[in-house]
Structure 1
Amino acid sequence: MTSLNPRLGLFRDQHVVRLAAILALLLIFFAIVKPKNFFGLATWQSMAIQFPEFGLMALGVMLAMVIGGIDLSVVGIANMTAIGSALLMLQIAPVGSDASTGYLALAAAIGLSLVIGALAGALNGILVAKVRIPAILVTLGTFELFTGIAVIVSGGKPTSGLPPQYAEVMASRLFGVIPMPLIIFIIGAVLVGLLMYKSAFGTKLYMLGSNETAAQFSGLKTTSLIIRTYMISGVLASLAGLVMLANYNSAKADYGSTYTLLAVLIVVLGGVNPNGGSGRLSGVILAVVVLQVLSSLLNTFPNISNFYRPLIWGGVLLLVIVVNQWGKNNNLARLFRWKGNAS
């Protein structure tokens, strides 16, 4: 298990080192096979626009998994908050409104999205911490609940016609080069890093994930910790919803349907223990970049259909879990010894 102080021994972490090596190999392969795409600025800008959608969700799933839980409702929260924000903007600034009204609608939409995300996360946390329902069941149920709310509110149709000021800000590029979604992801990752490694809150998360009973006897307010953790996950999912709203210029209840699996894959691939108590933010960020580079590389081969993506992600997730599980406690060595004795 990783030490409760995950800042120590960063480069001794096998997951971080493994992912860094995989990323380097992927980049080299990309540069050799598709040099025109690799050295094109548009390719990297496209990546920077795409991965913050699921990257922000993965940060929330990571926090939930560190405490020994999981959050499978992130896509539902993202779509629900995006639809709510879009409808609010249409109410405040209908088509033909002036710029000042559009900016007011933008500010109100962002505020509403963050509040709804926090409330949705709080519902998850209360059901897990107080009602004592397993996190996987709670978040599967609330995923369907939030998706259902989004369908009812939107009528199952895309919500579009947003004020142009929303795209002007949320889809802008800093210095004409750096996409705003990337900046939002960086801000989210920095804030999560500060919470995990520069505050007592982060230390308590690792203690709770390592041993909830011991954490309770140590005087930690575990109920409050769990609720706050899921609230943060909900806020991160709502930020992902705002990014999706900017990227698609519309909101719909079924956008990002594959992101739940992808977020879980990223967190597990990044080295976070599904049972809680260990994992590094650096590993999760590396996993986000690795999967985005792999996805962009696959996009350069027109013969590879997008329908294969879930197959690839699911296979990789199972492989990572098997490797991690059999790598513990010399299970793999025992397996080979058993085969040798049997023969």
Structure 2
Amino acid sequence: MPDFLLRTVGRTNLRLLGLLAVLCLAVAPLVGDRLFAPAGLRSMAFQLPELGLLSLAMMVTLLSGGLDLSIIATANLAALAAAAVLKSAPDGAGGALLVAYEAGALVAGLAAAALVGLLNGTLIGYLRVSPILATLGTMTLVKGLAIGLTRGSVVSDFPPAILFIGSGSVLGVPTPLLLLGLVALALGILLTRTPFGVVLTLMGSNQQAVRFSGIDTRAALLRIYVLTSLVAATAGFVMMARFNSANAAYGESYLLVTILACVLGGISPTGGSGRVGGLVLALVVLQLISTACVLLDLSQFLTLAVWGGILLSVSLIAAVRDQLRPLLAGLRAPVLRPAPPQA
């Protein structure tokens, strides 16, 4: 395979494109043209962004060598905070006043998410708490507060402008998909074209070396977890708008799937390497499998089983490749023969 193609597209992305082609060829005879019919593609375009935005949030922490188990709770808290502001609007509010409440609702949701990120960043960066323990505690705290304050009830019935975020379209393209594309593009630029992105990736490779280089890793971790929470908040807004309701328990099944999507997309679980493009391709693969299972009237648990099987297969292939790499390198190395004796 040409080296320039590997450098441009990436080895992981090429594998995912190959996997996507194989899946399309395998599924097409079973479901016919229903999978790629306009209705099917539109359905996938509306379903993909929720998991996609949450996976992007998880990707940020994984690249830095961390983990954030509180992204679902953060997304729901942001949605509930936005819903509380919207519900505080006077009856019959319209025009500029309604627009002000709608904007204030989104700001309130982002602020609530940022507070969770600040808490996570402080615990992990400044108090040196393990990311798993810190975010597990934050997840439990945030979910408990959300359920306690709302008594576990569903807050619903939002203005059309808010619903447009989750169910609208711009030039035929679903708004959630556009939002996912914008966030993915912004993160791709941030992670590859800015000093913050370089520091984030280097921390995943060797945080101690980054600290010895004079960079304040504590402040960097604070920014990383705030960024993660803000991306998770956008997923909360999409779920809130698509369901026309907010609840403390929405999207809980997505948590482990976001890690699966990241690892399948080439994000190293130990940090330091990965691309946004790989994650997006992995999300397309997972969504294709999910939609095919729905069209075949298969159980959602079987969908999870297929996802897990693909992840195990990819991990096994990577492990075998790493084991064989030294052997193949030895076979390719030139054999050094002793020079003939001189007369």
How far has the Cα of 1:103 moved from its partner? Answer: 2.5
How far has the Cα of 1:206 moved from its partner? Answer: 1.7
Q: 1:219 to 1:314 in 2, by over 3 A?
A: same
Hey, what's the Cα distance between the residues in 2 that align with 1:170 and 1:311? 28
The alignment status of 1:295 with 2:290, answered yes or no, reads yes
Pair member with larger Rg: 2
How far has the Cα of 1:229 moved from its partner? Answer: 0.9
1:224-235 equivalence runs, <5 A: 224-235=219-230
Match of 2:302 among 308, 312, 325: 308
| Identity value in percent | 35
Match of 1:4 in 2: none
1:239-318 equivalence runs, <5 A: 239-302=234-297, 304-318=298-312
Hey, what's the Cα distance between the residues in 2 that align with 1:9 and 1:221? 34
Cα RMSD (Å) of the superposition?
2.3
Is the contact between residue 261 and residue 314 of structure 1 (CA under 8 Å) also seen in structure 2?
Answer: no
> Partner of 1:206: helix, strand, or coil?
helix
Match of 2:163 in 1: 167
Q: 1:31 to 1:147 in 2, by over 3 A?
A: same
Hey, what's the Cα distance between the residues in 1 that align with 2:240 and 2:204? 34
Match of 2:341 in 1: none
Match of 1:83 in 2: 80
Note the alpha carbon deviations across 1:216-270, whole angstroms, 9 max, x for none.
Answer: 1111111111111111110000000000001100011111111101100011111
The alignment status of 1:129 with 2:125, answered yes or no, reads yes
Note the alpha carbon deviations across 1:294-326, whole angstroms, 9 max, x for none.
Answer: 111111011x11233444444444444444345
Match of 1:18 in 2: 15
Match of 2:200 among 202, 205, 222: 205
Q: 1:117 to 1:222 in 2, by over 3 A?
A: same
The alignment status of 1:328 with 2:325, answered yes or no, reads no
Is the contact between residue 83 and residue 155 of structure 2 (CA under 8 Å) also seen in structure 1?
Answer: yes
Match of 2:188 among 185, 193, 200: 193
Residue 110 of structure 1 aligns to which amino acid in structure 2? L
Structure 1 residues without counterparts, runs of 5 or longer: 1-6, 335-343
Is the contact between residue 90 and residue 163 of structure 1 (CA under 8 Å) also seen in structure 2?
Answer: no
Hey, what's the Cα distance between the residues in 2 that align with 1:326 and 1:139? 33
Hey, what's the Cα distance between the residues in 2 that align with 1:55 and 1:143? 20
Hey, what's the Cα distance between the residues in 1 that align with 2:22 and 2:313? 19
How far has the Cα of 1:331 moved from its partner? Answer: 8.7
The alignment status of 1:119 with 2:154, answered yes or no, reads no
Q: 1:10 to 1:54 in 2, by over 3 A?
A: farther
Hey, what's the Cα distance between the residues in 1 that align with 2:164 and 2:14? 39
Is the contact between residue 205 and residue 225 of structure 1 (CA under 8 Å) also seen in structure 2?
Answer: yes
Runs of 4+ in 1 over 6 A off after TM superposition: 331-334
Hey, what's the Cα distance between the residues in 2 that align with 1:297 and 1:53? 18
Match of 2:101 among 80, 84, 105: 105
> Partner of 1:132: helix, strand, or coil?
coil
Hey, what's the Cα distance between the residues in 1 that align with 2:286 and 2:250? 19
Hey, what's the Cα distance between the residues in 2 that align with 1:123 and 1:19? 36
Hey, what's the Cα distance between the residues in 2 that align with 1:141 and 1:323? 35
Match of 1:65 in 2: 62
> Partner of 1:213: helix, strand, or coil?
helix
Structure 2 residues without counterparts, runs of 5 or longer: 329-343
How far has the Cα of 1:333 moved from its partner? Answer: 7.6
> Partner of 1:34: helix, strand, or coil?
helix
Is the contact between residue 93 and residue 105 of structure 1 (CA under 8 Å) also seen in structure 2?
Answer: no
How far has the Cα of 1:66 moved from its partner? Answer: 0.8
Hey, what's the Cα distance between the residues in 2 that align with 1:84 and 1:208? 32
Hey, what's the Cα distance between the residues in 2 that align with 1:286 and 1:93? 44
Aligned length: 325
Match of 2:25 among 21, 24, 28: 28
Hey, what's the Cα distance between the residues in 1 that align with 2:72 and 2:30? 34
Q: 1:21 to 1:174 in 2, by over 3 A?
A: same
